[in-house]
Structure 1
Amino acid sequence: MSQGERDLQEKHGTERRADAFYSNQMIDYLNDEMQRYISEQTFLFIATSDKNGNCDSSFKAGEQGFIHVIDDKRLMYPEYRGNGVMASLGNILENPHIGLLLIDFFDDQIGLHINGAAEIVENEHIHNIAPDVTDDRAERWVVVTVHEAYIHCSKHIPHLVDTKNLRAWGTDDTAKKGGDYFKVKQSNKKRK
């Protein structure tokens, strides 16, 4: 928890509710239920920031189980071939703080926040950490040490219908990837 949280709780009179949440819902490890939940997820949202606090959010996805729990204090997820920008990884190099958000939109409509410290491990070294893990598509891995783990309640999580991956996973086909959906290339030409 941050001092900013505490200041706002005092300002708005929510200290008692916040303390109950910290005591009853927040832990600094992954219990058995959290580990099971993580193993069932097919995507997660991540938040990182560089050394100056400039933020980046990203979305990671894979087949069920692509997020690996190493032990009750560590988990890891693969970095697949992407656009080559490596914004999140660049931030991790400068500032290891990371926030993960896993949401089950399909079955239980519940979420799990995990905040901690991240490190990048190249694919050829991952067996030193997790000997049984293999993923031929992974170029490298992000290993997260858990500092906080807590629920994101289901109150405002919508129920979605899983279409079982109708997208062409792993493709380099520009149209199938979404191409220039937001017309950035055209916008840049107009501004020049």
Structure 2
Amino acid sequence: MRTSARNRQKNVAVTLVRKIQSSSEAVFAAWTEPRLIAQWLAPGADSVTAVTADLRPGGQYRIDGLHGDGSAYSITGTYIEIIENKRVSITWTYDGPVSALRGATSLVIADLRRRSSDVTELTLSHEKLADREAAELYRINWSRCLEKLEPTSRLHLPIDQQEADNPSREFFTDEHRRLQDRNGTRKLADRLQALTVKHELNVVDAVFIARQNMFFLATTDADGQPSCSYKGGARGFVNIIDNKTLAFPDFDGNGMLISVGNISENGRVGLLFVDFEKQARLRVNGRAQIFTENDKLFSRYPGARSIVRIAIDAVFPNCPRYIHKMALVEESPFVPDGKHPVPRTDWKYLAAFSDVVSEDEAGVETDLDKALSRD
């Protein structure tokens, strides 16, 4: 009976299935390239400090990291099976302060199934676990890690793209410099640029963007007239194509089409992401293009009129001091999801618009401020 109980414990396993919005090549790279492994294979506040990998059947790997409380741990093992873009199978031994995970050698299998050119179904199995306590801990930890896997996989680029030249435009203009000199902040500005301004996303940036459900978009028309627009969607609606490219959907709005019109005339844009709950923000400058047909992202965004793709020139965080702390009550029910009907838009039912909207939207309401939630 004791032997039978031990055998049953050794068969405890955890299986998670996720659809990753990245190619199987990119997801495979996130599982096999040390620089990418270090970005996602640590749950919550844990962090990876070093990764070594001999990527071949029988080869050894080692991951060193720190738990959120600063205590050190390591994970070691052997590559059992490697099938490019399809499977990674490894043994797994944890050595660290979490006693429930320590000592026993288990088996981790990542199966990748290509669903489309940019969607991969990942089936993650963690088998031969010591007991159900270990299984529950690993279920939680793997779930947290997989939240980082998708944005990390999008940081994978072919070598020729990785070596592409950075934009040559100077970050500061002559007028920026004049004002910095007048206020005595040139050295501070230079230090901030050196420490924070990048020409591509890192995994912290990618995870931050993937968590957001809104941002502010700055555009300029051909004559230099600026405009700032709020863009909202479901959490994660900004698509991280890779570490140099973002995309987002253009949904039905008020019909003025100022942002997309400006982009058609002048592709230079600025994006400001603000997380009011965490009091943090990130800025992205780049060059945008509008795609109204034949873009594969239309299948991801039901109801989108066009897809906006942005080639990143600069990305940098901002000082969070003046961000008010606010909590999200609910996401907008107007965001199309392809599953539920979109609610009516009150302002389109105003009598003043009855002759310029579709017949099913026309109405007789008269209070504009109320319809725009301004009363």
Q: Could you state the TM-score of these two structures normalised by the residue count of structure 1?
A: 0.85
Partner of 2:50: none
Q: 1:9 aligns with which of 180, 189, 210?
A: 180
Q: Deviations 1:34-67 (Å, cap 9, x if unpaired)?
A: 0111111000000001111101110000001100
RMSD over aligned Cα atoms: 2.4
Aligned partners of 2:346 and 2:371 also within 8 Å = no
Q: Deviations 1:72-91 (Å, cap 9, x if unpaired)?
A: 01101100011111001111
Aligned partners of 2:219 and 2:269 also within 8 Å = yes
Partner of 1:160: 326
Q: 1:10 to 1:120 in 2, by over 3 A?
A: same
Q: 1:60 aligns with which of 231, 236, 245?
A: 231
Partner of 1:42: 213
Q: Deviations 1:69-118 (Å, cap 9, x if unpaired)?
A: 00101101100011111001111111111000000001x21000001111
Is 1:140 aligned to residue 312 of structure 2? no
Residues paired across the two proteins, number: 178
Q: Deviations 1:100-153 (Å, cap 9, x if unpaired)?
A: 0000001x210000011110012x3221xx59x611121111111111101122
Matched to 1:126, the amino acid is D
Alignment of 1:39-188 (within 5 A): 39-106=210-277, 108-122=278-292, 124-127=293-296, 134-165=300-331, 167-169=332-334, 170-174=342-346, 180-181=368-369
Q: Which runs of 5+ in 2 are unaligned?
A: 1-171, 335-341, 351-366
Q: 1:3 to 1:86 in 2, by over 3 A?
A: same
Q: Deviations 1:148-179 (Å, cap 9, x if unpaired)?
A: 101122111110021023x5424333169997
- Give the stretch that moved more between structures: 169-178 or 142-151: 169-178
Q: 1:6 to 1:120 in 2, by over 3 A?
A: same
Bigger relative contact order, structure 1 or 2 (CA pairs below 8 A, ≥6 apart): 1
Aligned partners of 1:171 and 1:177 also within 8 Å = no
**Greater Cα radius of gyration, structure 1 or 2:** 2
SS of match in other structure, 2:294: helix
SS of match in other structure, 1:56: strand
